Amino acid sequence: MTLPIPADPATLRIVVEKIARQVEDAMRGDLTRALHGNDPLLAEVLKYALFGGGKRLRPLLVVLSSRLCGRHDADLYLLASAFEYLHVATLIHDDVIDHADQRRGRPSVGTKYGMAAAILAGDWLHARSMHLIGRLTGTEGLEIFCGATAAMVDGEFLQLRHVADISINEDRYFEVIQRKTGRLIASTCEIGALYAGADRSRQKALGHYGSKIGAAFQVVDDLLDYQGDQEATGKKVGNDFIEGKLTLPLLHALLKASPAERELLADLITGDRTQPGAYARLYRSVEKLGGFLSARSTAENLVEEAVTELDIFSGCTDQESHGLLVGLARFILERNR
């Protein structure tokens, strides 16, 4: 078996940026066509929402997955745009739901243009994304995509149900993040493969890869919520705790806690979480119980499992795309924003 050469970080960055630019060009072109004759404010709101930074992770996965399966053409970037549309629609609606006034260091869409414009712009992006997926990958792609979208909504409901619920276990945690993040990221890879006409086993392998890096991505997100540098992430630490979201570091800490330590943690979680010092006390406990190290090791395992899913592509002609997907999976562990 020929092992792929994982892309080094510098090469990865160059490729990632090049693809991001091509996806942005595709989005601009698509908006111009789709919005012809429409209200100019709608166009302004959509451009503000879509071109405010963003890692373009989902489009990147679509492009690399399709390339790995042998198809690389102009419409691929339009297909990739659909995933960014859906992702941004979700962020816009989430910010309305959370009354978040900032996103990526700028006023959120709702703050800048009002709630009506935010909800409507999200709906527009939602519809446009499905339109593109249907047009470019037919009903098979649409079925995967809509399933992932419905799962995201379901994951949000599941999460609301478990606010400050200390009986939640690791399985349930992974169920929530699979629905909220994993399935959509899996669908980017699977639909990329479908677009390229890959056989079912290759589609599935890429889907599993996506599902696992999606989970790793979320675990790293949860770690950044505790340990991130506000300058880099643009977010304050401790949000998840304050909102009553029990994420992996805390769940791992609870598993290792003595009855007395568990009681202390439970008091902090079910008490007034905004009280001065509550977050600092929780942080120290989680650290002492090894929750951060243990969650990190889970993320590392997920990434290695993701990489193994791609073995089916060993020896395929496009070793570069294979190496980029391996490098990208590993890079998730390094990200700081």
CB of residue 179 to a second copy, shortest distance in Å: 9
Determine, following the binding rule CB under 8 A, whether residue 312 of this chain makes contact with a second copy: no
Q: Which is nearer to a second copy, 147 or 197 (CB)?
A: 147
Tokens in use for 20? Answer: 């991001």
Q: Which of 208, 213, 206 is nearest to 328 (CA)?
A: 213
DSSP 312: G
Determine, following the binding rule CB under 8 A, whether residue 191 of this chain makes contact with a second copy: no
What is the bridge-based pairing of β-strands 106-107 and 102-103?
A: antiparallel
Site for a second copy in 109-138 (CB under 8 A): 115-117, 119-124, 126-128, 130-131, 134-135, 138
Determine, following the binding rule CB under 8 A, whether residue 8 of this chain makes contact with a second copy: no
Q: What's the rounded Cα separation, in Å, for the pair 36 and 30?
A: 10
CB of residue 261 to a second copy, shortest distance in Å: 31
CB of residue 153 to a second copy, shortest distance in Å: 4
Q: What's the rounded Cα separation, in Å, for the pair 99 and 39?
A: 26
Q: Which is nearer to a second copy, 14 or 127 (CB)?
A: 127
Q: Phi and psi of 58, rounded to 5°?
A: -65, -50
Q: Which is nearer to a second copy, 67 or 126 (CB)?
A: 126
CB of residue 4 to a second copy, shortest distance in Å: 35
CB of residue 142 to a second copy, shortest distance in Å: 4
Q: Which is nearer to a second copy, 137 or 203 (CB)?
A: 137
DSSP per residue, 231-253: HHHSS-TTHHHHTT---HHHHHH
Q: How many residues bind a second copy (CB under 8 A)?
A: 40
Residue owning tokens 């910010």: 95
Tokens in use for 146? Answer: 């809509």
CB of residue 154 to a second copy, shortest distance in Å: 5
DSSP 52: S
DSSP 311: G
C-beta atoms surrounding 305 within 10 Å: 17
Query: 3-class DSSP state for residue 290?
Result: coil
Contacts of 259-266 spanning 24+ positions with Cβ under 8 A: 261/285, 261/289, 265/166, 266/166
- Which position among 161, 236, 284, 337 is part of the footprint of a second copy (CB under 8 A)? 161
For the chain, the residue count is 337
Q: Phi and psi of 300, rounded to 5°?
A: -65, -40
CB of residue 79 to a second copy, shortest distance in Å: 13
Determine, following the binding rule CB under 8 A, whether residue 158 of this chain makes contact with a second copy: yes
- Which position among 38, 169, 314, 317 is part of the footprint of a second copy (CB under 8 A)? 38
- Which position among 5, 14, 41, 232 is part of the footprint of a second copy (CB under 8 A)? 41
Determine, following the binding rule CB under 8 A, whether residue 157 of this chain makes contact with a second copy: yes
Determine, following the binding rule CB under 8 A, whether residue 156 of this chain makes contact with a second copy: yes
Degrees to nearest 5, angle at CA 58 with 220 and 112: 85
Residue 268 near residue 164 (C-beta atoms within 8 A): no
Site for a second copy in 82-111 (CB under 8 A): 89, 93, 96-97
Q: Which is nearer to a second copy, 81 or 298 (CB)?
A: 81
Determine, following the binding rule CB under 8 A, whether residue 42 of this chain makes contact with a second copy: yes
Q: Which is nearer to a second copy, 3 or 41 (CB)?
A: 41
Please give the residue ranges that form the binding site for a second copy (CB under 8 A): 34, 38-39, 41-42, 89, 93, 96-97, 115-117, 119-124, 126-128, 130-131, 134-135, 138-139, 142-143, 146-147, 149-150, 153-154, 156-158, 160-161
